[in-house]
Homo-oligomer: A and B are copies of this chain.
Amino acid sequence: MSERYYLGIDGGGSHTRALVLDDTGSVVYRGEGGPSNVLVVGEERARASLEEALATWTDSVTGGVLGMAGADRPQVTRFWQTSAVPRIGGPVLVVGDYRIAWGALTAFRPGFIGIFGTGSVVYGENGTQALKVGGYGWRLGDPGSGLELGREAIKATLNALQHIGPETLLVGPVLQWAGVDSAERLISRVYDEAFDWRTVADLAPWVVRLAGTDPVAHAIIDRQGAEVHRQLHQVCRRLGLDRSAIGGLAGGLAPFWLEYLSARWSCSGVPLSLASREPVWGAAEWARRAFGNFS
């Protein structure tokens, strides 16, 4: 019998990661490419990023799991089914990127993950039910996300500059980030056609850093933190998890929120930790379980 391989893909707004496991779960290939959120970068770029990530992988695989940003939308799932199957030569399961992150954290056992990056989403499973909270994106807003912290920093800066809100240490970093020197120019910048809204998330580390000394930054963190706590607690409770379950956080803001929550968190003894395995491992391992002789 020939070797059997299982492919995992983690496709997001800035990177695409590929990982291939063999039947024993050992890593036999690892690759990386550019952005593959088809809704953001378009079909051609997304397809090219998958190619980049698989550049030196020439075998076919028994099956693949693609954890892709935006995969809750039917057109995204269809696109990847059509694009990926010919390239990898096996059946393809397309799922939301948060689901492979959950798999990587829990190794597919009951538990939940909160992902706090540019956006945010909380997702959990208990063996029979799945629950997703948030992940509404930049237009509707996600609590505790980089975009939401950044948006609040901009509003606080505008209020301070126009003397309609308290002074704040956020003013300096926000003006420097925008490359402007007044409230009017800051507003213009944010509505400029060439402005990439995702860069608002670059302000989040400043809110985090200043939360200890600046009352305005502190207030932003407190409001957002209450929402973050509410979301995580809701998923944990609604799934009826107990102390054998696994709770975790991932994404760039995860270390911060974990520390913030440490003094407040309690949900039936479910511990909270940082995810240590990469999401792409969750995808590849899912493929091994779904398509392998794994029983």
B39 pairs with A164, CB closer than 8 A: no
Cβ-based interface call for A168 (8 A): no
Q: CB-CB < 8 A to A234: which residues of B? A: 164
B-binding residues in A (CB < 8 A): 39, 72-75, 131-133, 136-137, 139-141, 151, 154-155, 158, 162, 164, 184, 187-188, 190-191, 197, 234-235, 238
B187 pairs with A136, CB closer than 8 A: yes
A154 to B133, CA, bound (A): 14
A137 pairs with B72, CB closer than 8 A: no
Q: CB-CB < 8 A to A133: which residues of B? A: 162, 164
A39 to B193, CA, bound (A): 9
B164 pairs with A131, CB closer than 8 A: yes
Q: CB-CB < 8 A to A72: which residues of B? A: 184, 187
- The chain B residue with its CB closest to the CB of A135 is B187
A219 to B132, CA, bound (A): 23
A136 pairs with B158, CB closer than 8 A: yes
A164 pairs with B73, CB closer than 8 A: no
B131 pairs with A154, CB closer than 8 A: no
A132 to B163, CA, bound (A): 10
A191 pairs with B137, CB closer than 8 A: yes
A197 to B137, CA, bound (A): 14
Chain B min CB distance to A211 (Å)? 21
Q: Can you add 20 more A-B contacts, CB < 8 Å, to A73-B187, A136-B158, A164-B238?
A: A72-B184, A72-B187, A73-B184, A73-B188, A75-B188, A131-B164, A132-B164, A133-B162, A136-B155, A137-B187, A137-B190, A137-B191, A139-B190, A139-B191, A140-B154, A140-B155, A140-B190, A141-B151, A141-B155, A164-B234
Chain B min CB distance to A74 (Å)? 8
Chain B min CB distance to A204 (Å)? 16
Chain B min CB distance to A109 (Å)? 22
A158 to B140, CA, bound (A): 10
A39 pairs with B187, CB closer than 8 A: no
A140 pairs with B151, CB closer than 8 A: yes
Q: CB-CB < 8 A to A73: which residues of B? A: 184, 187-188
Q: CB-CB < 8 A to A190: which residues of B? A: 137, 139-140
Q: Closest 4 CB pairs between A and B?
A: A73-B188, A133-B164, A72-B184, A140-B155
Q: CB-CB < 8 A to A235: which residues of B? A: 164
